[in-house]
Structure 1
Amino acid sequence: MPGTILITGCNRGIGLEMTRQFAEDGWHVIATCRNPSAAWELGELAAANQNIEIHSLDVTDYEQMAELASDLKGRPLDILLSNAGYYGPKGVALGNVDVEEWRKVLEANTIAPYKLVETFYPQLAAGARKVVGILSSKVGSIDDNDSGGGYIYRSSKTAVNQVVKSLSIDLADQGIKVLALHPGWVQTDMGGPNALISAEESVAGLKQLLLKASAENSGHFYNYDGSSIPW
């Protein structure tokens, strides 16, 4: 049965497509992004679907996050999807690391997903499905790293995987399932035009993982196609 999902970073790419697909399936979508007035595609989608509501949220603004949770107080969430993120500078090799940018990436990709779960935990605990999905990346897999470099983005995703694991343990007694999800190399603004798969294909796979989440696969790291990724 359809329920309610809250998604961050819905102005483009995976977040926008996730909003589209869940709305088409009859779900009520609480779609957030930093600047809704500039998110014209999201606005058009919401105008055509009464089951989409848009809220402003910068995921690194924890006061704003708390205010949104207060506004949504008493409304159960079935799925909470942490999609918003920040890639930071590209071509980050040894001797070419901008420490301030590193802090920004860690804030957006590691700390913010944790704060999202911490902040919306009461609504999630009141939901029927009780599922958290946190967008990670295969480049965060230590086992998969055979090329080096990428210190900033890699480390932020490795760290958020540890957050996912701890959350899955700490929230297990409440029946809340937490998954780390790799969307694949997707044709988005972040992934670029040479990426291997479309946002539609990626989201279709991610959606199935969220809908089928169970206690047995909580705390695990999955590719969009359902295959496991080593930590």
Structure 2
Amino acid sequence: MSTVLITGAARGLGLDFTKQYAAKGWKVLACARKPDALKGIAGDVHHYPLEVTDYGAVKALAAKLADEPIDVLICNAGVGGEGGADAQTLGTLRPDVWRTVFEVNTLAPLMMAEAFADHVARSSQRKLIAISSTLGSIANNTGGRYFYRASKTALNMEWSCLAKDLESKGVICVALHPGWVQTDMGGPTATLTIEQSVPAMVKVIDGLKPSDNGRFLQYDGAELPW
């Protein structure tokens, strides 16, 4: 049986990732601050309360799951920042919001990767996935959203580093953009539904090969510029 660990698993993209992998017959290690929303999901779903910025708790969970090979680790938990895009323009910038966005979107995924890299390396599939965003693309930058854009650009750099540092262990590290999705963060006018985005991402993850290590991909598998 294959195993997936998902952060931010109780809502939005993470909740649908949990449902999709459970329906495929995978063992799902579903991590969330409040995992109550996961209790009704059919399948081999294991619930773990986890605040991804509590790095002691991250290490403790990694130790608890020390004997668990993890085929796919999906670092999905993320925030847009208090006040949304309007609070991330020149003249409105708040350092406290910047710190929160970077803590959740950039530092926490790296600490998850560090804690669980060996679990992934011991598995059959060996896939380490960061849910990133095309807003982190420097080549496609249109300005604004300073904190969110910068947090995802930094996340992409981390995954590029991981791709090099874990290559000898056969780990496939990929940054994946879900598209503009109708979630609490994406809003109701986004171009994709969760039901369109997540199954497409699962298909991309299923198809990843060692040659894909270090790539930045869209939900449909298209290459994105750094």
Shorter chain as denominator, the TM-score bin is over 0.9
CA offsets 1:153-186 (integer angstroms, 9 cap, x no match)? 0000000000010000000000000000000011
Tell me which residue corresponds to 1:125.
121
Tell me which residue corresponds to 1:32.
31
Aligned residues: 223
> Normalized against structure 1, the TM-score is what?
0.94
Tell me which residue corresponds to 2:63.
70
Tell me which residue corresponds to 2:13.
14
Deviates more, 1:202-211 or 1:110-119: 202-211
Distance 2:129 2:200 in 1: 13
Tell me which residue corresponds to 2:94.
98
Distance 1:26 1:150 in 2: 39
Distance 1:137 1:217 in 2: 18
Unaligned runs of 5+ in 1: none
Tell me which residue corresponds to 1:175.
170
Distance 2:32 2:13 in 1: 12
Distance 1:201 1:115 in 2: 29
Residue 126 of structure 1: how far off its partner (Å):
0.9
Distance 1:22 1:108 in 2: 24
Amino acid paired to 1:16: L
Unaligned runs of 5+ in 2: none
Aligned to 1:93, what secondary structure does the other structure show? coil
| 1:141 has 2:140 as partner | no
> Normalized against structure 2, the TM-score is what?
0.96
Correspondence for 2:77 among 84, 106, 131:
84
Aligned to 2:74, what secondary structure does the other structure show? strand
Distance 1:172 1:23 in 2: 28
Q: Which runs of 4+ in 1 moved over 6 A?
A: none
Distance 1:205 1:122 in 2: 27
Residue 87 of structure 1: how far off its partner (Å):
0.9
Distance 1:81 1:170 in 2: 18
Distance 1:124 1:220 in 2: 18
Tell me which residue corresponds to 1:58.
51
Amino acid paired to 1:211: D
Aligned to 2:128, what secondary structure does the other structure show? strand
Amino acid paired to 1:102: W
Residue 190 of structure 1: how far off its partner (Å):
1.2
Tell me which residue corresponds to 1:152.
147
